[in-house]
Amino acid sequence: MSWIVIAVVSLLSGLLGSLGMGAGAVLLLYLRVFGGVEQFEAQGINLIFFLPIAVLSILLHARNHLISWKAAGVCILAGLPAVFLGVWLGGLAGGPLLSKLFAGLLLIIGVRELFQKDTGSQSEHS
């Protein structure tokens, strides 16, 4: 794995992460497809990578009043128990099946985004 390439991919992932656009998908795909890293190891690297990116992004978004703390709290409380279930199910599924499920999820999300109509209901923040 070239350190220059991984630095560029990490830079792109950080940029996408700060925009809330699934930076983990970029880094995880690079590690799996081009880096030859096994699924579970790539997930672990991705989680560690995400921590400082998330902290900085949260601080900047909070400074710009772009976070609904009430909604975030509800999401966190609902999501935390799901972590245990997800880790357990991921262990049962194994790396190859997990890779295919992840690819399928990305495909579904990508196709949905391509064909979803823009309602124009979101306000722009300057």
Question: Do the Cβ atoms of 29 and 6 come closer than 8 Å?
Answer: no
- pLDDT tens by residue, 49-108: 888 888 988 999 999 999 999 999 999 999 999 989 988 888 888 878 888 887 888 788
Instruction: Name the residue with higher pLDDT: 123 or 4.
Output: 4
Domain that holds residue 111: 68-116
Residue 41 domain flag: yes
Does the structure show a pLDDT above 70 at 112?
A: yes
DSSP 72-114: HHHHHHHHHHHHHHHHHHHHHH-HHHHHHHHHHHHHHHHHHHH
How far is CA 56 from its chain centroid? Answer: 15
Q: What is residue 126's predicted lDDT score, i.e. its pLDDT?
A: 46
Number of domains in the chain: 2
Same-domain pairing of 55 and 73: no
Nearest to 29 by CA among 103, 114, 101: 103
Q: Which residue type occupies 1?
A: M
